[in-house]
Structure formats: C-alpha cells, structure tokens
A and B are shown apart, each in its own frame.
Chain A
Amino acid sequence: MDLSEINFAVLVASLIVASTPLVLAALGELIVEKSGVLNLGVEGMMIIGAVAGFIVGVETGSAYIGMIAAAVAGALLSLLFAFIILIMQANQVASGLALTIFGLGIAALMGHPYTGIKSPQISTISIPILSEIPILGTMFFQHDLIVYLSLISVLTIWYFLTRMRAGLILRSVGEDHDVAHSLGYRVITIRFLAIVFGGAMAGVGGGYLSLFRVPQWTEGMTAGAGWIALALVVFSGWRPFRLLIGAYIFGGITILQLNLQAIGVNINIAVLSMAPYLATILALVVISMSRFRGNRGAPGCLGRSFVKTI
C-alpha cells in the first residue's frame, strides 16, 4: 500500500463528480420539503432517472438527451406521488416508501435488456485559462456540463428561496399551509409544482449516475444515494450552500474509501464500503445534537396533509 499513489487534485475532481448526483437530488428534495412535503421516494425517482436516462442516452447516442429523459422520467414518477398525497390525502411517509419500492421495480424491469452496455461518450468542458491553473484547474475547471449546472442550481435555488417573492410564497406554504391558504395562495398547486421539480432533479441526479459517473446500468445502482440525499437535506438545515458542502463531504468519503480499496489498503472492503452510510448517521447525530438549541430549519408543516376546509 502506498498513500502517495493517490493524487490529491484528481481526488478532489473525482469527489466533485461523485457528489454531483447527491447535490442534484438533494436540491430537488430541499424545494419539496420547503413546500411542506416529505417525499421519501427520492431513491425511486433517482433510479428511474438513471434507467430512463441510460436507455434514451444509448438509443439516441447523446448523453445530454439522456439527461433530459432522466428529468422527465423522474418528474413523471413524482406525479404519481403528488396525486396520492395531494389529492388522495395519503400518508406521505408511506407513499414515499411506496414510490421507492415501485421505482426500483420499474427500473429493474426497464433496464434489464441494457445491462452491460456502454453509455455514449461525453466530453468534459475545460474552462479556458482557469483550467490551466496547476492543481486547482484539475480540481475544479475540467468537468462535464452537468457539474457546472449543479453548481449554478445551488446558486439559483439559494437566490430563489431567499431573494424572490415566489420563494417566499413557497416557504410560507411549507411553514403554515392554513395561513398561506387563507392569504389566497394555492397550496395544492404550489406543492404540486415543488414535487414535480423535486422529481425532475432526482431524475437528473440518477441520470448523472448512469450516464456520467459510473457510466453503466446495473440493477439497484443508486445503492442508497437517494436516502443519503434525504439525509443531506436534514444535515444542511434546509440551506442550499450547506447542502453543497455536505454533499462534497459525503462524496469525499465515498471517493476516499474507493481509492483506499483500489490501492489495497489493509482494511476489509466490506468495512470500507460501510463508511458512507456510517458517516451519514454520524452527520445526522452531530447536526441533531447542535440543533437542540432551537435553531431548527425544518418547515413547520413538513409531512402534514393539507385539507381544504374553507
């Protein structure tokens, strides 16, 4: 074993790639939760995005068309969730679980003929001048389009939530749907839009996994990434920038353990593979402990059904 075999700049670059699906899916869920809805189906929407993106990517030969398909697929699946929790008033926790079980099944069904196929080639976009900076250039400025888009999304969503009127309305619906309703906001419509946005983002996150990161389709390939994305939202205290930092920490742990496996460090592979999941639990504990001082970012109506009474 030789730790010097690990190139730090490449490590950072690959941790950014590893974190991007998490960033995308978690940003979507952040918006959903800010509107007061808890969608535990992120894993299901991600895997549907992964499989749909991969299929369309392979058939059209373009990874970017694949990514659009991934977004559409994730959004379509989320429609189902939106319908049963907003119209049929079903329990959100149970419905989210149903979405995950259903999504994993559909994805396995659709993806079966595509196992082992290579995905279309993608090119990285080197940002002129910046990418030539030694070390930093390799780390940050030689990525594919989606990585840059994920960073732009963080900014956009931060701006939307904190600086725009629409973001304020979304938050007020999540904070107290009865008050928002009495002020004349359309709670159901706003939540519907938020859920569909969350579905599209989770789909894109999944598509990034199968088309860019891995890039291949294997059954159950999300391996809990959707759940880690859910944990990230809690970890971030419902703030976009902390979400990004959190995602990069998790990505870092994943990449580090993969690298340690690759150079044959003397720790069992199974133990290393546990690391991201244990880290998630640890992060949740730390954040919940510090959150005891009343500084909770969770929306007031998170997970509660809205019934129009007036």
Chain B
Amino acid sequence: MFKLIPRENVSPVLSLLGPLFSIGFTMFVGGILFYFLGVDPFAAIKMIFWDPLMSETFSTYSIPQIFIKGAPLILIALGLSVGFKANVWNIGAEGQYIMGAIFGASFALSLYPLESFFIFPTMVLMGILGGSLWSMIPALLKVKFNVNEILVSLMLVYVAEQLLALASLGFLRNPDGAGFPGSRNLSLYSSASNSELIMGTGIHLGVLLSLLMVVFFYVLLFRHSLGFKIKLLGNSPKASGFSGDNPNKLIFLCLTLSGSLAGLAGIMEVAGPAGQINIDFNVGYGFTAIIVAFLGRLNPIGIFFAGIVMALTYVGGELTQFMLNLPAAAIQVFQGMLLFFLLSFDLFVHYKIKLKGKK
C-alpha cells in the first residue's frame, strides 16, 4: 500500500500546520458528536471558539475567564513539556497543583489574621515548594531505584486528592464557617490575596508569571546548554551519556521543575480565582495541561497559544452547557479527540509517505 520514509529534518511547515489541522478535524468530528447529542453543531462550535471572544453578551465575562483558565494551563504545560522532551513523563501535575495550593494556603492561614508584606511572597514560595516536594517523590524513586515515574506521579494524584479532602474537612476548615467544608477565603485576607491587578480583566499575578515563564522556558530550551542537554537526553540517551551528562540529574531536574510550576499554578489559583481550599478545588488543569503541552508542540511559544485555545474550549464549553444544554463531558471528549488528531498528525511531520510501486 504505502511506505514510510523518515524525513531527515522535521518539516517546520507541517509542524505548524499539524495543530491547526487537528483543531479543524476536532471541530468537524466534534460537530458530528454534538449533532448526535441533539445540539446544533454550528451553533455549538461557534459558541466554543467565537462567542467567548467576540460576542458582546458573553465576552465581558469570558475574556477574563480565558486569562484565569489559561494561566494555570500554560504554567503547568511549560513544566511538563521540558520533561516530555527528555522522555520523562510526569503525569501527576494535578497532584502537584493541589499540594502547591495546600502548602501555600496552610502557611498563609496559619498566620491569619496577621497583616504583613512578607506573607504573600513567602506563601507563593511555599506553594512552589509544595509542588516541587510532591514531584520529588517520583523523581527520587526514579533516580534511586528506577521506579516508573508515570505510575508513581499518577498514584500521588489520588493521594493528594485525599489530602485535599483532609485539609478542607479538617485542619484547614474555616473555624467561622458554620461547619461547612472549605478553608477561610484567602481573597478576603488582604496579605495573602492574589487579587486582580487590573479590575475586571481577570489578570492576576499568575497570568503575568505565566507570560514571564514562556520567555524563561524559551531561553532555557533554545539559548541555554541545559535545554540542549535535556533535548539530547530525550532524543538519544546514549549520546547524552557519551557527552558526559548525568541522566539522573537531568531527570530529577525535569520532574522537580514541572512540579514547582504546577505548585505555583496551584497557589496562584487558591489565593486568587478559587479563593479557598475546598474538596472540589482541582478541576483537572494538571491533566488538560498534558494536551496543552502537545498542542503547543512542546515549544514554549506554541504552549502559550495552545493554552489560550484550551482555555477557550473550557470557557466556550461552559457557555454551551448553559445555553445549549450540552453535557459537560462533551467538552472533555472534545479535548481528548484533539490530542488524538495531534498525535496522529505527527506521522506526516516525521515521515514522507510514498505509494508502493513508485520509486
């Protein structure tokens, strides 16, 4: 039938077209799915991709929401992408995100109601620490005993979810909360609040940090030798060893780096848009960020745009839920489909296809 010929150099044009085609295919197949769910596919697709940005009725609410949802996705995906490049698979970012939030919030709430300038920065650092400590567990087990980091990091998500329940029902529960689960609201605690920098725009410190991190990771990956070493480890572990790199150090670094960023995203969320530690604090950003990382082709600038597109599907998904009664899970299917198309399209990026019989 056909034959695959490896390309000597990855085609940059196809590499860019891949994500665009995948989004197109996902819209098409997703539209068919929406049709079978009894929803007008054109209205649904328009509501997911167009209305949040352009519609006058929705955009005042949804544009800030895109920043709010995009920031954690971009932060987490940036961290993950570095590991993915090195063939280090941290898929437990959801847990690291939770732990960042719990660590940071615990620190701030332990000082409540003290007001001081040092609380906010220390809280953010504690958040980063929480995420990185949680990712250090799979990192240490991987480099010390060669334990599979995929399974350990994922198992720790379930453990972190239980810790979240423990915190919101137990040690962080608001003593003035009439027995309801959930901590004090950090956004009402001015020393710890990650409030909007410009009112009504949704832009908080985490949004700015996510932009800063895009630049930082771009420099790291394309202008710094460490980025080269990481890519080398992923592409050719043998060559990496010959050049004298210590793979364990790189693996450890990749995992803790992604954990730190997930922790940062967590503390920014809990002190800002979410406001409090509660049982339903985590909404799957850690898993969606995996899709964001691939949609952005593991490239920081790509991840920036991918984060916005994914945030759009979240916000648009909520709109279709309210306006068209589309089930919430339909958007998850939509996102999963996008990842399938992306991964499949990689074939054309890495191989030329020739029909057999032709030379």
- Report which A residues bind B (CB closer than 8 A): 40, 80, 83-84, 88-91, 93-95, 97-99, 101-106, 108-109, 112, 219, 223-224, 227-228, 230-231, 234, 268, 270-271, 273-274, 277-278, 280-281, 284-285, 288-289, 291-292, 307-308
Contacts and interface: CB of A to CB of B under 8 A. Distances in A.
Contacts of A285: 141, 145, 147
Contacts of B89: 93
B343 A90 contact: yes
A90 B347 contact: yes
B291 interface: yes
B231 to A, nearest CB: 15
Contact of A101 (B158, B287, B328): B287
A98 B340 contact: yes
A102 B340 contact: yes
A101 B346 contact: no
Given A94-B339, A227-B154, A289 B145 contact: yes
Contacts of B340: 80, 84, 95, 98, 102
Nearest to B345: A88
Nearest to A95: B343
Contact of A224 (B154, B163, B347): B154
Interface residues of B, number: 50
7 contacts: A98-B291, A98-B339, A105-B333, A109-B329, A278-B159, A284-B147, A291-B146
B151 interface: yes
Contact of A288 (B137, B146, B330): B146
B121 interface: no
A284 B346 contact: no
Interface string B131-160: 000000100010001111011101110110
Contacts of A270: 162-163, 165-166, 169-170
A102 B170 contact: no
A271 B346 CA distance: 43
Interface in B311-359: 327-337, 339-340, 343-344, 346-347, 350-351
Contacts of B335: 101, 105
B6 interface: yes
The 4 A-B pairs at the shortest CB distance, nearest first, are namely A102-B336, A105-B332, A108-B329, A105-B333
Given A98-B343, A102-B340, A108-B329, 7 more contacts: A84-B343, A95-B340, A112-B327, A223-B158, A228-B155, A270-B165, A281-B147
Nearest to A93: B89
B215 interface: no
Nearest to B152: A281
Contacts of B163: 270, 274
A52 to B, nearest CB: 15
Interface string B64-97: 0000000000000000000010000101000000
B162 A89 contact: no
Given A101-B332, A112-B327, A284-B152, A274 B344 contact: no
Given A98-B339, A277-B155, A105 B347 contact: no
Contacts of A292: 145-146
A109 B36 CA distance: 12
Nearest to B3: A308
Contacts of A108: 327-329, 332
**Secondary structure call for the B interface:** helix
Contact of B333 (A83, A90, A109): A109
Contact of A234 (B148, B154, B162, B331): B148
Contacts of B290: 94, 97, 101
B217 interface: no
Given A89-B347, A94-B343, A101-B339, A280 B333 contact: no
Nearest to A268: B166
Contact of A102 (B162, B294, B333, B347): B333
B219 interface: no
Contact of B336 (A98, A274, A278, A284): A98
Contact of A88 (B3, B91, B329, B344): B344
Contacts of A223: 158
B333 A84 contact: no
Given A90-B346, A90-B347, A106-B333, A274 B339 contact: no
A307 to B, nearest CB: 6
Given A89-B351, A108-B332, A308-B4, A288 B343 contact: no
B339 A234 contact: no
B4 A271 contact: no
A283 B348 CA distance: 41
A228 B337 CA distance: 25
A231 B151 contact: yes
Contacts of A94: 84, 290, 294, 339, 343
Contacts of A89: 4, 346-347, 350-351
B48 to A, nearest CB: 15
A106 to B, nearest CB: 5
Nearest to B164: A270
A91 B158 contact: no
B101 to A, nearest CB: 16
